[in-house]
């Protein structure tokens, strides 16, 4: 288990009726065990049919799609499977924690996803290309 | 995996379940399953499977030799050198 933080966005309406957006970091636990693969197969069976979760992120990293803003949602799918704990009940509520409309926040999120994926791949002693 | 049937003929069993089945077969401890990185666990299972297959081939060879009446002995490197030098075996 690897503990790290994830930048999320909370939106609310204040007393004046204005939309207030607050960015904060939440603590998350990254699980790289077989249970991450199990979450991948349970939540995204179509993707899991073709490749394992780890083979997927290795492919995404090698193709340079980690920095691609258009691939953020796909990358969030993989990221969701690494999340351990009851704080994130399903993929829908996980996606609602982020603001994918762009700006500096999206850049920070992409950087964080890139960091976590590199961490996840480097914590293994073997390569996923043959799995 | 040695005893996992072909993808086309197998029941639609998730990959994770098949791997967990393999963990049970090879008696891998729970804490190891929980803590090992997926890729490491996968490689561990593959290497255990390969070792099992090698052992099975070895056993089959021994049975075949016994049927032919050929005596077959596993010897160490030192024993082999001794035998070739005429000092024993």
Q: For position B24, what pLDDT does the model report? A: 92
Nearest 5°: phi and psi at A9? -120, 135
Please tell me the pTM assigned to this model: 0.73
Residue written as token pair 């829908």: A92
Q: Which pLDDT score is estimated for A131?
A: 47
State which residues form the domain around B59: 15-84
Q: For chains A and B, what is the number of CB pairs under 8 angstroms?
A: 56
Give the three-class secondary structure for A4.
strand
| pLDDT for B9 beyond 60 | no
**pLDDT tens digit string along A95-119?**
888 888 877 888 888 888 998 988 8
Does residue B9 lie in a domain region?
A: no
CB within 8 Å: B16 and A37: yes
A130: pLDDT strictly greater than 60: no
The verdict on residue B7 lying in a domain is no
Is B19 inside any structural domain? yes
Domain boundaries, chain A: 2-125
Q: Do A126 and B19 touch (CB under 8 A)?
A: no
Answer yes or no: is B10 within a domain. Answer: no
- Predicted local distance difference test score (pLDDT) of residue A127: 58
A33/B33 touch (CB, cutoff 8 Å), yes or no: yes
- Which of B17, B35, B43 lies closest to A33 in CB terms? B35
Examine the pLDDT at B2 and tell me if it is beyond 50: no
pLDDT one-digit tens code per residue, A78-98: 999 988 877 787 888 888 888
Q: What pLDDT sits at residue B11? A: 53
Mean pLDDT along residues B59-86: 84
**Scanning every residue of chain A, which has its alpha carbon at the shortest distance from the alpha carbon of B12?**
A49
Q: Does residue B5 sit within a domain? A: no
Strand partners, A5: A27
Q: Tell me: the pLDDT tens digits for A4-59?
A: 888 888 888 888 888 888 888 888 888 889 999 898 988 888 888 888 898 899 89
Q: Based on the structure, what is the number of domains in chain B?
A: 1
Interface test with A, best of B16, B22, B28, B33 (most A CBs within 10 A): B16
Is the torsion defined by CA of B16, B17, B18, B24 positive or negative?
A: positive
Could you give the 3-state DSSP secondary structure of residue A28?
A: strand
Distance from CA of B57 to the nearest CA of A (A): 25
What is the four-CA torsion angle of A54, A128, B2, B4, rounded to 10 degrees?
20
The ipTM, to two decimals, is: 0.74
Q: Which one has a higher pLDDT value, A95 or B3?
A: A95
pLDDT(B1) > 50: no
CA of A105, closest CA in chain B: separation in Å? Answer: 30
Inter-chain touch B42–A131, beta carbons under 8 Å: yes
Residue B3: inside a domain: no
In which element (H, E) is residue A93 found? helix A91-95
Instruction: Retrieve residue B60's tokens.
Output: 């089959």
Beta strand spans in chain A (E): 2-13, 19-30, 83-84
């Amino acid at each position: 288990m690897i503990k790290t933080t994830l930048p999320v966005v909370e939106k609310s309406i204040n007393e004046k009726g204005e939309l207030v957006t607050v960015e904060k970091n939440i603590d998350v636990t990254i699980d790289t065990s077989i249970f991450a693969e199990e979450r991948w197969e349970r939540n995204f069976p179509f993707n899991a049919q073709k490749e394992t979760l780890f083979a997927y992120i290795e492919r995404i990293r090698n193709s340079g799609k980690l920095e691609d803003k258009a691939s953020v949602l796909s990358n969030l799918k993989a990221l969701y499977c690494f999340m351990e704990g009851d704080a994130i009940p399903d993929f829908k509520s996980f996606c609602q924690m982020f603001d994918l409309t762009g700006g500096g926040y999206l850049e920070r999120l992409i950087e964080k996803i890139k960091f976590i994926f590199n961490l996840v791949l480097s914590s293994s002693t073997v390569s996923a290309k043959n799995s | 995996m040695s005893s996992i049937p072909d993808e086309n003929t197998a029941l639609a069993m998730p990959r994770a379940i098949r791997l967990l089945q393999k963990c049970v077969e090879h008696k891998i401890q729970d804490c190891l399953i929980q803590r090992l990185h997926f890729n490491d666990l996968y490689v561990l299972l593959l290497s255990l499977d390969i070792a099992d297959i090698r052992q099975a081939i070895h056993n089959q060879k021994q049975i075949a030799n016994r049927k032919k009446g050929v005596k077959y002995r596993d010897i160490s490197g030192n024993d082999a050198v001794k035998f070739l030098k005429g000092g024993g075996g």
